[in-house]
Structure formats: structure tokens, C-alpha cells
């Protein structure tokens, strides 16, 4: 129902307001800012390099030269659009919703979830912990991504608790049909795995659901365009309850069906929820996508290539710490790029313009491997492939 969650919106009257606008450190101010705290977060995100790099990161289909296949950046914009519609209808805080939506996937590695899985295997082997993009996204906005302030100093993004919580809590694998925010204010670094806790705000819950709505429909539209599910279109029409002769199936149709149902069935008592029929439809749609899209034979060969690229870069950069002079002579451009990035965060002498926190003890082996993983995670598909090409070339 319209405005059914207006009383729960994250406003100054909400008991969670002060904790949600809290920052880990004070953010510089020029004394004339007309934006809300969440609007400041939004603009800090969209002006960041991490945000711009998403335009060259795979969503599902690895197709660097096809301008019409969904990239990670387009997915984020779709999530922002869908979550805006839902939050606006339910009466929630649009500034907070927008900031979470635009930042929620900053932590994704190159090559989509396949790249994430490869980095996770490396991390488990060498660091004893998994790599997962939700946590990496929060750590990126907390410690790695830098913005120039009005004095030319480079500082951490330093986002509010409400947005940081939305990033680490956004896992789109929703199995429950009554999503409500948690009441507890927690240290977000207590998260040990995706979906461990519910989000802190209704706005973050909206983004969590919008994430799933966005990828289900768009992945189907891309698969239709690429001819991957041509022989399964009849099954898709049966699932949608549409006529294969008269009706079209596209992202718009799927989004409308899910968003309208969610908005009409959500309220404070029962949470963000779909009708039982539409919730079952969404689960069947997800099953269809996994069976006929994500596990399709055409997507599997790329995984071997991604693994070769990421593993080769990782092992090459490891040599920087043990055979520095040799590896610099072998790959001068690659090492120059890595050093330029690393010098922003290490505990050696840094340019005074770097006013961000030190992240890596350059002499600690665990920190060295963590630094390489963070560096690779920030790469675009194209930069990772170019780096690999330099390594194997002469």
C-alpha cells in the first residue's frame, strides 16, 4: 500500500537516525553544504574511481565488445531505479535508498561472480578466509577508495553507517518472503559471511530485494538477445503465464510484475513481502535462470580463462615481495602500476597528500597477499586481461 512504511522511514524522527548517519571519522566540511548526509554519500560514490570502473566489469555475460550486454554499472543503475520506485511508493528515505543502491556492488571483482569465486579460492588457500564482494565493498569504501578534498588531500570515502550497512547486507539471495530490518546496531566488521544479518534499515532491505529483481529480469533479456535460451522460451512463457504468440517477455515486464506485487503486499507488520503466488513465481524464475542461463555450456569455457588470468596476475605480483628487482625488470609497467597503487596504503613513507589510513604492513606476508587480492579485485575486466597479456608476452 502507498506510504505503508512512511513512519519507518530513516528520518530525524527515527530512533536509528543518529546511528545511521554516524561516520567512522569526521568528514571535512566547507560550511555551505546543502546536501543531506546520505546525499553526500551518494555524490562521494559516483565521483569515485571504483564506481567508474564498474562500466568495464562483467555482470553475467562476458562480452567486452558488445555495448548492449549488461555490465556491473548498468546493473547498479537498474537497482537504483527499481529501489527508488519501491521506496518512493512505500514512503521511505529516497536519499538513503539511492546511496546504498549506487554503492552496493563496488566490491565486485573483474569477471563477475566467477572472478569472485576464483579470488575466494586464493584467499581461502593463502589467508584462511573467503573473499566475498559484499564485505570487500564495505572494506573498499572504508579503507581503499580515495577522493580528493578541497585542499587536494586524498581521503577515504568515509560513508555513513546506514550506507555501509546497506553495502555489506545487500546479498540478493533472498529465500524468505518477509524481510524486515534488524533492530540492533552492530559492528559491521562482525559480519563473517553473506546474509548473516538482516539490514539495519528498511531502505537497505528495499535495495536487497531490488538487487534480485534487477538481475533476474535483465539476465533473461540478455540471454534472449544472445540466443542462449531460444529453445526454452516456451517454458518461460508458461512460467510467466503469457502467450508466446501475442505477448513479449522482457526486463520491463518482469520488473513490473514483481515491483507492483511487492509494493501492494508490504507493510510494517509483515515486512517487505510478495504475495505467495508471486514469491513462488520469483523462485521458479531464479531456478529457470540457473538451469538455462548461469549453468549454460557457453558460459563455462570463460571460467577457465578467468582463472588463468587471475591466478597468473596473483602469482606474478607475489614475486614482487620476494624478488623485487628481478620482477621489476621483467614487468616494469605492471609493477609500476602496482607500486603506484600500493604506496597509497603501505606503512612506509607516503606523499603528505595521502591522508587516508595505512592499510598494509609491507613487511608482513599476510598483508602482502591481502594487498594483491585487493588490487586484483579492483581491476576491470580489460585491465586484468591487459595485465595478463603483458605477463605472457615478450
Q: What CA–CA distance (Å, rounded) separates 178 from 154? A: 42
Domain ranges, ordered by start, for the chain: 6-24+36-106+145-295, 300-392
Q: How far is CA 339 from CA 276, 309, 371, 375, in A?
A: 54, 20, 11, 10
What confidence score (pLDDT) does residue 249 get?
87
What confidence score (pLDDT) does residue 76 get?
98
Q: How far is CA 167 from CA 8, 142, 200, 332, 371, in A?
A: 20, 11, 11, 36, 21
What confidence score (pLDDT) does residue 242 get?
86
Q: Pick 6-24+36-106+145-295's CATH classification: 3.50.50.60, 3.90.470.20, 1.10.3210.10, 3.30.565.10.
A: 1.10.3210.10
What confidence score (pLDDT) does residue 174 get?
66
| pTM more than 0.85 | yes
pLDDT < 70: residue spans in the chain: 172, 174-175
What confidence score (pLDDT) does residue 388 get?
98
What confidence score (pLDDT) does residue 172 get?
64
Cβ atoms within 10 Å, residue 52: 12
Amino acid at each position: 500500500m502507498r506510504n505503508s512504511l512512511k513512519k519507518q522511514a530513516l528520518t530525524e524522527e527515527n530512533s536509528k537516525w543518529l546511528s545511521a548517519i554516524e561516520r567512522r571519522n569526521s568528514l571535512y566540511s566547507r560550511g555551505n553544504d546543502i546536501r543531506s548526509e546520505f546525499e553526500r554519500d551518494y555524490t562521494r560514490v559516483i565521483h569515485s574511481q571504483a564506481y567508474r570502473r564498474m562500466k568495464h566489469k562483467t555482470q553475467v555475460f562476458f562480452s567486452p565488445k558488445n555495448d548492449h550486454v549488461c555490465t556491473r554499472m548498468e546493473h547498479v543503475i537498474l537497482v537504483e531505479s527499481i529501489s527508488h520506485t519501491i521506496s518512493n511508493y512505500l514512503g521511505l528515505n529516497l536519499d538513503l535508498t539511492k546511496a546504498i543502491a549506487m554503492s552496493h556492488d563496488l566490491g565486485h571483482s573483474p569477471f563477475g561472480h566467477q572472478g569472485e569465486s576464483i579470488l575466494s579460492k586464493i584467499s581461502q588457500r593463502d589467508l584462511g578466509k573467503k573473499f566475498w564482494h559484499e564485505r570487500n565493498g564495505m572494506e573498499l569504501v572504508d579503507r581503499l577508495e580515495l577522493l580528493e578534498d578541497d585542499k587536494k588531500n586524498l581521503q577515504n570515502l568515509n560513508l555513513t553507517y546506514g550506507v555501509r550497512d546497506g553495502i555489506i547486507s545487500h546479498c540478493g539471495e533472498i529465500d524468505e518472503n518477509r524481510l524486515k530490518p534488524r533492530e540492533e546496531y552492530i559492528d559491521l566488521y562482525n559480519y563473517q559471511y553473506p546474509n548473516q544479518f538482516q539490514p539495519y534499515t528498511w531502505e537497505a532491505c528495499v535495495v536487497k530485494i531490488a538487487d534480485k529483481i534487477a538481475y533476474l529480469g535483465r539476465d533473461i533479456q540478455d540471454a534472449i538477445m544472445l540466443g542462449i535460451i531460444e529453445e526454452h522460451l516456451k517454458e518461460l512463457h508458461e512460467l510467466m503465464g503469457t502467450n508466446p504468440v501475442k505477448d513479449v517477455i522482457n526486463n520491463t515486464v518482469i520488473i513490473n510484475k514483481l515491483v507492483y506485487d511487492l509494493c501492494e503486499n508490504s507493510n510494517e507488520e509483515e515486512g517487505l513481502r510478495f504475495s505467495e503466488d508471486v514469491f513462488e513465481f520469483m523462485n521458479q524464475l531464479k531456478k529457470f535462470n540457473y538451469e538455462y542461463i548461469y549453468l549454460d555450456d557457453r558460459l563455462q569455457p570463460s571460467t577457465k580463462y578467468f582463472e588463468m588470468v587471475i591466478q597468473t596476475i596473483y602469482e606474478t605480483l607475489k614475486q614482487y615481495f620476494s624478488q623485487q628487482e628481478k620482477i621489476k625488470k621483467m614487468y616494469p609497467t605492471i609493477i609500476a602500476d602496482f607500486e603506484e597503487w600500493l604506496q597509497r596504503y603501505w606503512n612506509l613513507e607516503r606523499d603528505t597528500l595521502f591522508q587516508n589510513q595505512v592499510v598494509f604492513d609491507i613487511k608482513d606476508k599476510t598483508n602482502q597477499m591481502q594487498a594483491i587480492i585487493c588490487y586484483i579485485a579492483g581491476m576491470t575486466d580489460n585491465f586484468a586481461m591487459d595485465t595478463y597479456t603483458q605477463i605472457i608476452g615478450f
